[in-house]
Amino acid sequence: MASSNMDMARGPGGHVTMSSSETAKSVPGSSNTEMSRLRTPNQSTSPSTPPSPPNGGLTAWLQVAGSWCLMLNCWGIVNTYGVFQTYYQTQLLTDRSPSSIAWIGSIQAFLLLLVGALTGPLYDYGYFRHLVVAGSFLMVFGMMMVSLCTQYWQLVLAQGILVGLGGGCLFVPSVAILPTYFSTRMAFTIGIAGSGSGIGGVIYPIVFKELESEIGFEWATRVVAFLMLATLSFPLAVMRPRVKPSAVRKLFDSTAWAERPYSLFAFGGFFGFIGMYLPLFYISVFALEEGMSSRLAFYLLPILNAGSTFGRIFPNYAADKTGPLNVFIPTCLALAVLSFAWMAIHGTADLIVWTIIYGFFSGTFLTLPFSTVVTLSPHMGVVGVRMGMACAIGSLGLLVGTPLAGAILTHGWSALQAFGGATLLIATIAMSAARISKVGWHVTAKA
């Protein structure tokens, strides 16, 4: 995108036009005031129109691959926390309650989303590479520090804060770059990239679990950190922002809250994130209390994340055809129903099947918000900011959800399961209201 002080700029139709500064030089006696009368309204109020996304090609698909690696680590590590929760409860932090241990993972996930409120605007400013470098360093360094931790407060600092901050630096840039390369298959490519978090949630828990019994907690955690370092090197080598900003962006888009569809969407995201993550933190502990073998109970988390991988791809393909909100609403409803149904699940076979199905819809829930934000934004120039704002609201739900559920768990598993179902039902209602505000009651309308 050309800035206003360059000699030439490419217009929306591909025609080369002179910039305002060059035109001023060619008109004797012209001034900024005079030139403002020569500009069209669009020229004076909006940045130059970027060229159309290529929707394919080697460079474009390399961005998808790079985003996949970023998701593998920023969300893959969050999805792995359930195995750490179980390890801390049963071995390292046996004097701590499940609720207090859950705060470590909640802080990590909270910061991952909250930092998006800052990284979104920074991405819009053009600091993509700086964010990826900083995020990669913080995540790898944080996991290395986890391997040295023996006390609760140390884990909060290393795994909760350092890893969370690093993931927050990587998250929004990994998603925001894709709509600049793809428009016709935007949700689908975001889904492919998002599948990396599901794969990370399969690989990292298995690596940690298998190595922890062989070489101990310290070196098992370091191996995870080395894997993160290797996979984070690829995005640094291949990812390149395509559209550079031509104007300074705001840190906060206050106009978004005046738009009812976006406000309702953010409200629904808050409640959705409260309830959606509960099985990822507690499914293995639940299985152990139901009498499942420790090995099989551990593998429920990788099974759930494997199911989420497919949920990140296929529904996103449908979202490109029907609109992301039209897929997001039934996804929230399915998760609510499954959370209530969890109360009736006790047998091993039933629990495995339930885990796969819940994992599928959880993957859809985690990837659709980003293409939804794009459709709820007036132009691409505010997508990064609005993604960050939505992430900040969702982060509050992540912060309080699992610790609050841990406290509710003192009243039994049914109380925790009903709590998750109720919050997801509220999310369903809010998302439905957002759709009605956007397109009305038309059932077949794309939204």
Domain count, the chain: 1
Whether 1 is in a domain gets the answer no
CA distance 362 to 365: 5
Q: What pLDDT was estimated at residue 23?
A: 40
* pLDDT computed for residue 325 by the predictor: 87
pLDDT of residue 136: 94
Whether residue 48 lies inside any domain: the answer is: no
Closest CA to 429 of 326, 292, 332, 322: 332
Using CA atoms of 65, 68, 70, 73 in order, give the dihedral in degrees to the nearest 10: -140
* 88 part of a folded domain: yes
Bridge partner list, 10: 16
Residue 35: the pLDDT is 37
Q: Which long-range contacts (CB under 8 A, 24 or more apart) does 246-252 make?
A: 246/1, 246/2, 246/3, 246/4, 246/47, 246/48, 247/47, 247/381, 248/125, 249/121, 249/124, 249/125, 249/381, 249/382, 249/384, 249/385, 250/121, 250/385, 251/118, 251/121, 251/385, 252/385, 252/389
Distance CA 138, CA 119 (A): 14
pLDDT value, residue 17: 43
Are 105 and 78 in contact by the 8 Å Cβ rule? The answer is: yes
User: pLDDT tens digits, residue range 175-205?
Assistant: 888 888 887 777 788 888 888 888 988 899 9
Dist. CA 110–CA 168, nearest whole Å: 9
The pair phi, psi for residue 18, each rounded to 5°, is -80, 140
| Residue (of 248, 113, 109) closest to 172 by Cα position | 113
Q: Over the Cα atoms of the chain, what is R_g?
A: 23
The pLDDT assigned to 49 comes to: 56
Distance CA 390, CA 378 (A): 15
261 found inside a domain = yes
Q: Which amino acid is at 126?
A: G
Given a contact cutoff of 8 angstroms between Cβ atoms, the answer to whether 286 and 350 are in contact is no
The reply to whether 11 falls in a domain is: no
pLDDT of the residue at 347: 84
pTM: 0.75
- Domain extent for 130: 58-243+251-439
**CB of 207 closer than 8 Å to CB of 227:** yes
> How far is it, in rounded angstroms, from Cα 88 to Cα 336?
29
**pLDDT for the residue numbered 82:** 82
- DSSP secondary structure string for all residues of 45-93: HSPPPPPPP---SHHHHHHHHHHHHHHHHHHHHHHHHHHHHHHIIIIIT
Cα 434 to Cα 409: distance, rounded to the nearest angstrom: 32
Query: With a cut of 70, which residues of the chain have pLDDT below it?
Result: 1-51, 243-251, 380-381, 384, 445
User: Which tokens in the block code for residue 91?
Assistant: 């071995």
Residue 407, exposed/middle/buried by CB under 10 A (0-12, 13-18, 19+)? middle
- Domain-located, residue 355: yes
Structure tokens at 79: 């999805």
Q: Supply the pLDDT for residue 47.
A: 44
Q: Using an 8 Å Cβ cutoff, are 183 and 55 in contact?
A: yes
Both structure tokens of 362? 């959880």
| Structure confidence by residue, pLDDT tens digits, 45-99 | 344 555 677 777 788 899 899 999 999 998 889 888 888 988 898 888 888 888 8
Q: For residue 221, give the CATH number of its domain.
A: 1.20.1250.20
Enter the tokens of residue 227: 């894997």
Q: How far apart are CA 384 and CA 125, in angstroms?
A: 10
Residue 16 β-bridge partners: 10
In a domain, 111, yes or no: yes
The answer to whether residues 70 and 235 touch, using CB atoms and an 8 Å cutoff, is yes
Task: Identify whether 35 is part of a domain.
Answer: no
Measuring CA to CA, how many Å separate 408 from each of 23, 269, 302, 413?
67, 21, 25, 8
Contacts of 190 (CB under 8 A, 6+ apart): 175, 178, 316, 367, 370, 371
Residue ranges in 177-323 assigned as alpha helix (H): 186-238, 260-276, 278-289, 294-322
How many residues in the chain?
447
